[in-house]
Every structure is written in C-alpha cells, then in structure tokens.
C-alpha cells in the first residue's frame, strides 16, 4: 500500500480541529485509524518477493 494513503485524511482531521468542527475531526480520526489498521494488516499479509 502506498505511503501517501491517508495524508489527505490527516490534513482534514487537522483542519477540522483548527476550525472546531468536532464531528468532522472525530470522523476523520476514526477513518485515519482504520487506514492505519489496514496498512498494518496489508503489510503483515504481504509476502516478500
């Protein structure tokens, strides 16, 4: 999985926090966590070439 996946989500999470959009910040943080979990799962299941 490419390293840049989730960068936009992280930016949105930070911007929502900056402008006090708590619901959006919480949702983006949750999505960010899901992406991190998927990266971990994907990297542990991949086989070396």
Boundaries of every domain in the chain: 7-45
Are 39 and 5 spatial neighbours (Cβ–Cβ below 8 Å)? yes
Higher-confidence residue of 3 and 42: namely: 42
The rounded distance, in Å, linking the Cα atoms of 20 and 42 is 33
In the chain, % of residues over pLDDT 70: 84
Average pLDDT, the chain: 86
pLDDT of 12 higher than 90: yes
């Amino acid at each position: 999985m490419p390293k840049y996946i989730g960068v936009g989500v992280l930016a949105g999470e930070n911007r929502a926090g900056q402008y006090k959009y708590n619901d959006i910040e919480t949702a983006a943080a949750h999505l960010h966590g899901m992406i991190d979990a998927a990266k971990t799962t994907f990297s542990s299941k991949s086989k070396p070439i």
